[in-house]
Amino acid sequence: MRAPAILRRVEHSFWCAGALLCGLCAGAYLEMRVYQAMENRRLEEALRDRSPRVLPAGPRRSPPRALGSLVGRLDIPRLRVSAIVLEGSDSRTLRVGVGRVPETANPGQAGNLVLSGHRDTFFRPLRKIRPGDRITLVTPAGGPYRYRVEWTAVVEPWDNASLKATPAPSLTLVTCYPFRYVGPAPQRFIVRARQMPPEGANTASD
């Protein structure tokens, strides 16, 4: 009779552990959705308060942002991606949004704006992205900034060539790879997009 009792206790322990893990996952998902909704509301309020114009892209100097503060919203219409972008690439920031990697370009500036996100949340649809896809970044202060995907690549974690500054305004998205890998993924998936002229500008070369 002792063995069945031990098995029942083990089974009970597994059920408790499973319930706890499900609760933690549900809590993390709820935190992410609530945070996204709150920041989307803040962004929409800021957009309503500013004058309806597109700020020119240029080497403007932006004041430093606090870690976790609102940068804007990233939209990839074909993939149905819409995610709030926050300042920083630490684990807390990436748990609730897409993060702007510090020391990279600001939206609209010359250089390379690098955004990082988790492959199992906001950037999971990137597995289906392709050259020519359009990306839009809306910020409280300027934009919308429009980009077109030029290429994608899979690189090793130590290969940071795609994160370096570029002569023209560019956008680089970074996430872990492979997308279906269980645990810490061994590689990185890179998406490089080129900034396009504002709506209404001369787009003969677009």
Which of the residues are catalytic? 118, 176
> 74's torsion region: left (phi>0), alpha (psi -120 to 50) or beta?
beta
- The residue assigned the tokens 């590689």 is 187
For 45, phi then psi, to 5°, come to: -65, -40
- CB distance 147 to 196 below 8 Å: yes
Task: Of 77, 81, 55, give the one whose Cα is nearest residue 140.
Answer: 55
Q: How many CB atoms lie within 10 A of CB 28?
A: 13
Q: How far apart are the first and last CA of the chain?
A: 78
* Rounded Cα distance, 52 and 22, in Å: 45
- Residue 86's identity, in one-letter code, is L
Tell me the C-alpha distance between 104 and 154, whole Å. 20
